[in-house]
């Protein structure tokens, strides 16, 4: 039986032996505690230097564990891990061997952090997947509001001390429950009866003045609960939105805050990545000129991480199912039997034009819009019948089409779309450096447009609701002039 204890490792010397992703993830947990981290490994993965205080690029040598308070080994070599365990244990130094409970004198729990509030779950190394699953449920129950709740209760405790009374004589239960209700915390936790939705994860926010027990079951009549599953979620295909981190969904932010690993694209905003715990491993699989991660390797990585029972966030720009290859990743996870879910995001096909003051539809101007990719598939064609698309009408929104814009414009005009059709290209849509280029279909090929840009073709591309004074000068809207 293990004894639970919280260690203060601030400034304490800790050793991590191993340079792989598991070692870096565990080093990240130490970094979150402001430990002084030394790493010994012949090679280390990218990003390790941002966590470790010092890295010695060499194999482990006998005696290396001396003078450290705590040791973690993740070499992948059973002989070396055993040697490290034996040497550390003989010196009375706590040691953890990754994925090997028999060589551990301590284990690392799954953690939910909300300011000073820290909730840990552990299975003594028997089932990390179960610990991760429990943490996911606790993350639902104990939201970010608990940091403010803890601060309020700390003030109340100080007031009690100031009166000279003992905090032991105070009935804290109703005070805590009222604080939870006042901050909109989980109704399940705010209820003295502890309704069974604590175990289902189907809690609703507590509202001041309502009965917390009934509030917790507000969604139980009729609609099924999205969180009722027999299998734990391990991989989340999450849409990061069009760029502005403020447009990230609440659910996506919550999942980021509890992630063990974040697998992200090149254009992921730093502020969104910063939502991940300090202990989380960030893996950049973005595609860019000169460095491409094959989709097959990304699929295999998600399957590998998901099979370890880790909370994995696959962060994808826009919406994961809109030209984000989320469908291919979902297929790979399904084939491997890995539980996953999909968290929609605002696609740049809508978000970027909107931020530039361009509605993709407008009554009497455009009754429909078509979203297509201009990207060629492995050196071939995009598979889009541009001449036929020119006859559809409405608005055409093109993603990843900058490099092919000349050919696209030529084929659309060949299909009958007028050469003077308005065109707008929105680069870095929703971001502070957003820039819009306006031209016509005939001028699209020569327009100064750079990726990443969302191209809008059609009458609505002449709109500019960001500068409304220009609206009636650029677009003739039936009835707009009175």
Give the catalytic positions in this structure.
Answer: 265, 287
Find residue 414's DSSP bridge partners.
Answer: none
Write out the E strands in 344-481.
369-373, 395-399, 422-427, 435-440, 453-457
Task: Specify the DSSP class assigned to residue 193.
Answer: T
Name the packing angle between helices 326-336 and 295-307 (round to 10°): 40
| Helix, coil or strand: residue 47 | coil
DSSP code string of 128-161: HHHHHHHHHHHHHHS-THHHHHHHHHHHHHHHHH
Distances (CA, A) of 306 to 44, 132, 333: 22, 11, 8
Two structure tokens written together for 357: 């003051």
| Helix, coil or strand: residue 55 | strand
Q: How big is the chain, counted in residues?
A: 482
C-beta atoms surrounding 208 within 10 Å: 9
**CA–CA separation, 248 and 430 (whole Å):** 12
Exposure b/e, 75-109, CB count within 10 A at least 16 = b: beeeeebebbbebbbeeebbbbbbeeeebbbbbbb
Report the run of H or E that residue 194 belongs to, with start and end: none
DSSP code string of 301-362: HHHHHHHTT--EEEEESB-TTSSSSHHHHHHHHHHHT--EEEE----HHHHHHHHTT--S-B
**CA–CA separation, 264 and 251 (whole Å):** 17
Two structure tokens written together for 233: 């979620």
What is the pairing mode between strands 340-343 and 235-239?
Answer: parallel
**CA–CA separation, 261 and 25 (whole Å):** 8
**CA–CA separation, 267 and 264 (whole Å):** 8
Exposure b/e, 141-154, CB count within 10 A at least 16 = b: bbbebbebbeebbe
| Cis peptide bond N-terminal to 452, omega within 30 | yes
**CA–CA separation, 382 and 371 (whole Å):** 13
């Amino acid at each position: 039986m293990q004894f639970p204890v919280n260690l203060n490792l601030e400034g304490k010397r800790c050793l991590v032996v191993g340079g792989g992703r598991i070692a870096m993830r565990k080093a990240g947990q130490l970094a979150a505690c402001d430990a002084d981290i030394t790493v010994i490994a012949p090679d280390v993965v990218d990003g390790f230097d941002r966590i470790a205080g010092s890295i010695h690029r060499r194999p482990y040598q006998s005696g290396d564990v001396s003078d450290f308070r705590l040791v973690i080994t993740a070499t992948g070599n059973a002989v070396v891990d055993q040697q490290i365990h034996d040497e550390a244990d003989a010196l009375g130094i706590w040691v953890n061997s990754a994925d090997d409970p028999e060589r551990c004198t301590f284990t690392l729990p799954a953690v939910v952090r909300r300011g000073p509030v820290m909730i840990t779950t552990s299975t003594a190394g028997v089932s990390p997947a179960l610990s991760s699953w429990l943490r996911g449920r606790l993350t639902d129950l104990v939201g970010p509001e608990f940091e403010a709740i803890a601060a309020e209760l700390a003030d109340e405790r100080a007031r009690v001390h100031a009166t000279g009374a003992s905090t032991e004589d105070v009935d804290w239960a109703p005070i805590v429950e009222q604080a939870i209700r006042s901050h909109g915390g989980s109704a399940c936790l705010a209820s003295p009866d502890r309704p069974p939705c604590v175990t289902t994860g189907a809690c609703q926010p507590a509202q001041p003045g309502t009965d917390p027990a009934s509030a917790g079951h507000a969604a139980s009549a009729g609609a099924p609960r999205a969180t009722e599953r027999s299998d734990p979620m391990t991989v989340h295909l999450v849409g990061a939105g069009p760029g502005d981190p403020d447009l990230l969904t609440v659910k996506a932010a919550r999942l980021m805050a509890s992630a063990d690993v974040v697998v992200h694209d090149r254009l992921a905003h730093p502020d969104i990545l910063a939502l991940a715990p300090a202990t989380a491993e960030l893996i950049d699989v973005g595609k860019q000129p000169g460095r491409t991660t094959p989709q097959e390797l990304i699929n295999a990585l998600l399957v590998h991480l998901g099979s370890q029972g880790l909370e994995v966030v696959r962060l994808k720009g826009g919406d994961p199912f809109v030209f984000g290859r989320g469908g291919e990743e979902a297929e790979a996870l399904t084939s491997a039997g890995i539980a996953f879910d999909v968290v929609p995001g605002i696609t740049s096909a809508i978000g970027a034009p909107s931020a530039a003051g361009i509605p993709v539809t407008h009554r009497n101007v455009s009754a429909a819009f078509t979203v297509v990719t201009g990207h060629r598939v492995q050196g071939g064609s995009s598979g889009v019948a541009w001449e036929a698309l020119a006859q559809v009408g409405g608005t055409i929104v093109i993603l990843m089409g900058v490099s092919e814009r000349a050919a696209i414009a030529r084929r659309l005009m060949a299909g009958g779309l007028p050469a003077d059709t308005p065109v707008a290209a929105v680069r870095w849509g929703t971001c502070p450096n957003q820039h819009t280029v306006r031209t016509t279909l005939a001028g699209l090929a020569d327009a100064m447009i750079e990726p990443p840009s969302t191209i809008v073709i059609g009458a609505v591309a002449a709109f500019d609701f960001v500068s409304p004074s220009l609206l009636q000068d650029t677009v003739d809207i039936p009835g707009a002039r009175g």
